[in-house]
Amino acid sequence: MKLITKIIIRIIRSKKAEMNKIAIIIKREYLTRVRKRSFVIMTILGPLLMAALMIGPVFIAKMSDSVYQVGVVDDSDFFFERLKNTNNVEFSQLNLDIEAAIELHKKGNYDAILHIPKFAFEAPSGLRMFSEKSVNLNAKLNIENQLKLDFESLKLAKEGIDEDVLQKIKTSINIMTVRLTKDGLEKTDYPELRMVLGIFSGILIYFFIFLFGSQVMRGVMEEKTNRIVEVIISSVKPFQLMMGKIIGVALVGLTQFLIWIFLTLIIVTAVQTAFPEQFKYTPVEQVYISADDAYNPEVLKERTEIVMQYNSPAGQIMDALSSINLPVMIGSFIFFFLAGYLLYASLFAAIGAAVDNEADTQQFMLPITVPLIFAIVMAQMVANNPSGPVAVWLSMIPFTSPIIMMLRIPFGVPMAQVYLSMALLVLGFVGTTWLASKIYRTGILMYGKKVSYKEIWKWIKFKG
C-alpha cells in the first residue's frame, strides 16, 4: 500500500514537472510576442479600425446631407408641378430655353439641369439631364422614379382608369419578421444584420486562424533555422515544445481579441458621448401602419421604435446587437476561434518543422488554405440559408466548422448541433495534433533536405 502511494506521488511529481516545463515555454512564447512592437500597434489599430467602421457611416451620412439642386426646363408644362422635393433633391422651375439654362448651370447656380421636352408624353426617352460633374446617382434614381410614376398614371388615365381606383388598388407590403423565442416573447428580427454579424465573425475567425497560425509556423521555423531546437528538445519532449508554442500564441490571440472588444466599446461609447447629436434617433416622416395594427398601441409603439432605430446606422447596429444574444455570441466566438485555431495551428507547426525556409512553405500551405478559403466562398450561400443541408454539413466538418458555425450562430442554431460541432472540432484538433506532432518531431531535426509529401508520409508512418 505504502509502495503504491509512493509510486503515485512520484508519477504526480514527474507529471507536475512536465506541466511546469510547458508552462515555462508558454510564458516565453506569450511574453516575447506580447512585448513586440507589432503586437502593440495591432492591438491599438484594430479597435480604431473597428470603431471607424461602426462610427464612420454615421458621419459620412451626415456629411453628404447637402441638397442636390436641380433646375428644370419643362417644355411640356406638365411634369414640373408633379416633381416633389425630397430630403436630398430640390427642384426649381426655370422659364428659360435649355441653352440659357445650361449657361446658368455653368455659372454654378444648379447642380444639374433637367430638360423635359414638349412631347415628353409620347416619347419619355427625350428626357435629358445636364451636369458638368457626373450626375448624383441618387438624384437621378429619384427623378426617374418620380417621372416613372407620373408617366404611369398619365397612361392609366389615358386608358380610362380612375386615379382614385388606382390608389385603392395599390398595396404596400412590408413583412415584419418576428422570431419566436423560447420564453414565448416575440422579437423583431434583423436577418440582414444577423447575416452581416455572422459573415463578419466568420471572416474574423478565418483571419485569426491565418494570422496566429502563421505566427506558430514562423516560430517553429525560427527555432529550426536558428538551430536552438536541439538544445531545447534535449530538455523537453518535442510535443511539449510544440504545444507550449501553440498555446502561448493562442493566449496572445485571446489577449488581442479581448483588448480589441474592450477598446472598441470604449471608443464607440466615447464618441457617442462626445457627439450625441450625431447618434440621436431622428423619427422618419412616414410610418406605414396597417389598419389592424393601428388599433394595437403595443405594436404601434414597437413599429415606431424599429423605424426610429433603423434611421441611425449606429442605432441599427446597437439594436441588432441587443437582439442577438451577445454573451452566447462572444462565448461561441472564443470557443470556435480557439478550437479552430488549435486544429490548424498544429498543422502550421508541422509545416514550419518540415521546411528550411519561408519559400518552401508554399507547397505545403495548400491543404491548409483550401478548406479555409472554401468555407469563406461558401459563406454567402450559408448566410442565405443558414439551416440548409450545406450549412449544417459544413458546420459539422471540423476543417470548415469554425467559420461556418460562427456564421450560423447569429441566426440561431439548435444546441444539439452546436455541441456536436464542438465535439467534432475537438476530436479533429486531437487528430491533427497527433498527426502534426509526428511530422514535427522528425522535421525539426532535418536540415538541408528538400522535403516532399512522400517524405512527410514516411515521417508519419515512422514509429518511435
Partner 1 sequence: MEYIFKAENITKNYTGHKALDNVSISVPKQSVYGLLGPNGAGKTTLIRIINQIIGPDEGKLFFDGEKLKPEHVHFIGYLPEERGLYKKMKIGEQALYLAQLKNVNKHDAKKKLKVWFEKFDLLPWWDKKVEELSKGMAQKMQFIITILHQPKLLIFDEPFSGFDPINVNLLKEEILNLRNNGATIIFSTHNMSSVEEICDDITLINKSRIILEGNVKEIRKSHSLGIYCVELEDVKKPLESMLGSQYNVSLEGKSENLYKYRIRKPDGDPSNNLLKSIMEAGRVISFQEVLPSMNDIFIKNVTGKYPDEVNNKNNYQNNQI
37 is a site residue for partner 1 (CB under 8 A): no
Binds partner 1 (CB under 8 A): choice among 6, 28, 118, 128:
28
Quote the least distance from Cβ 367 to partner 1, whole Å. Answer: 22
Identify the residue among 11, 32, 52, 180 touching partner 1 (CB under 8 A): 32
Q: Should residue 228 be labelled a site residue for partner 1 when binding is judged by CB under 8 A? A: yes
| Alpha carbons 400 and 202: distance in angstroms, whole number | 10
Cα angle, residue 314 at apex, residues 334 and 42 outer, rounded to 5°: 45
The nearer residue to partner 1, 33 or 115, going by C-beta atoms, is 33
Tell me if 19 contacts partner 1 by CB under 8 A.
Answer: no
Q: b/e map of 8-23 (b: 16 or more CB within 10 Å)?
A: eeeeeeeeeeeeebbe
Per CB under 8 A, which region of 85-93, 121-129, 218-226, 307-315 contacts partner 1?
218-226
- 148 forms part of the interface with partner 1 (CB under 8 A): no
Under the criterion CB under 8 A, does residue 38 sit at the interface with partner 1?
no
Residue in 127, 211, 232, 426 binding partner 1, rule: CB under 8 A: 232
Nearer to partner 1, 231 or 370 (CB): 231
217 binds partner 1 (CB under 8 A): no
Total number of residues that touch partner 1 (CB under 8 A): 26
Under rule CB under 8 A, residue 218 binds partner 1: no
Which residues, at least 6 apart from 202, have a Cβ–Cβ distance to it below 8 Å? 375, 376, 379, 403, 404, 406, 407
Under the binding rule (CB under 8 A), the answer on residue 452 touching partner 1 is no
> Residue 128's closest CA among 179, 57, 72, 45?
72
User: Sign of the C-alpha dihedral, residues 406, 407, 413, 419?
Assistant: negative
Q: Alpha-carbon dihedral of residues 137, 140, 144, 145, nearest 10 degrees? A: 60
Give all strands of the β-sheet with 68-74 in edge-to-edge order: 89-93, 68-74, 112-116, 128-130
Neighbours of 173 (CB within 10 A): 6
C-alpha cell of residue 374: 472554401
According to DSSP H, which parts of 226-282 are helical?
229-232, 238-274
Per CB under 8 A, the list member of 222, 258, 369, 387 interacting with partner 1 is: 222
358 binds partner 1 (CB under 8 A): no
The closest alpha carbon to 122, from 78, 85, 91, belongs to 78
Instruction: State which amino acid sits at residue 319.
Output: D
Segment lying near partner 1 (by CB under 8 A), choices 209-217, 230-238, 314-322, 344-352: 230-238
CB of residue 138 to partner 1, shortest distance in Å? 54
Q: Quick one: which of 1, 3, 4, 17 contacts partner 1 (CB under 8 A)?
A: 17
Tell me: does residue 453 bind partner 1 (CB under 8 A).
Answer: no
DSSP E strands: which ranges in 61-126? 68-74, 89-93, 112-116
Scan residues 388-447 and list those touching partner 1 (CB under 8 A): 445, 447
- 236: contact with partner 1 by CB under 8 A: yes
Name the site residues for partner 1 (rule: CB under 8 A): 14, 17, 21, 24-25, 28, 32, 222-223, 226-228, 230-238, 445, 447, 458, 462, 464
